[in-house]
Amino acid sequence: MVEAHVPYQDYLCSAKGRANEVVWLVERFKSLRISEKEKAEAYDALKIHVRWQFGVRASRTTMRLGTRKVFFHDRPLIARREVSLVDELNSPRIPLRRYLPR
């Protein structure tokens, strides 16, 4: 049966109660016992545009990783002629630290 002009927006508003509409919808998808790929396909098919009204801390304006030591760039940029590939390759290795995905 196909019914035209089904008021899904009204349904959503009614069904979500006092919950946030996006969070509520996401929870419905997450509760499905299907693969993550299928959930993603079903959600993406909706092509819902979501507005994220981010707070101050999540904005680029104030987002910043804390650091103990700030690097102050108080010297001219290095000119190309000052870079020696031989010296760089013979210099101590740059320490690497592996970060695991959260």
Partner 1 sequence: MKINCTRLLDELEHLKRGFGGSPRPLEQKLRALSHCKFDHAASLIRFHEALLFFRAYPPSAEVLKEVEAILKTFGQRVAQLRDADADLSPLDDPEVSGITATSVTSNFSYAIICWLAAQYPAQLSIDWDWFEEEERFARPCRVFCHARGRSDGRSACALSGLFVLRERPRE
Under the rule (CB under 8 A), what is the footprint of partner 1?
2, 4-12, 14-15, 20-23, 25-34, 38-40, 42-56, 58-64, 70, 72-77
Q: Would you say 47 or 93 has its CB closer to partner 1?
A: 47
What's the min distance (Å) between Cβ of 50 and partner 1? 6
What's the min distance (Å) between Cβ of 4 and partner 1? 8
| Integer Cα distance of 28 and 34 in angstroms | 12
Judge contact between 15 and 24, C-beta under 8 A: yes
What's the min distance (Å) between Cβ of 65 and partner 1? 11
Judge contact between 24 and 16, C-beta under 8 A: yes
What angle in degrees, to the nearest 10, is found between the helix axes of 21-30 and 36-46?
140
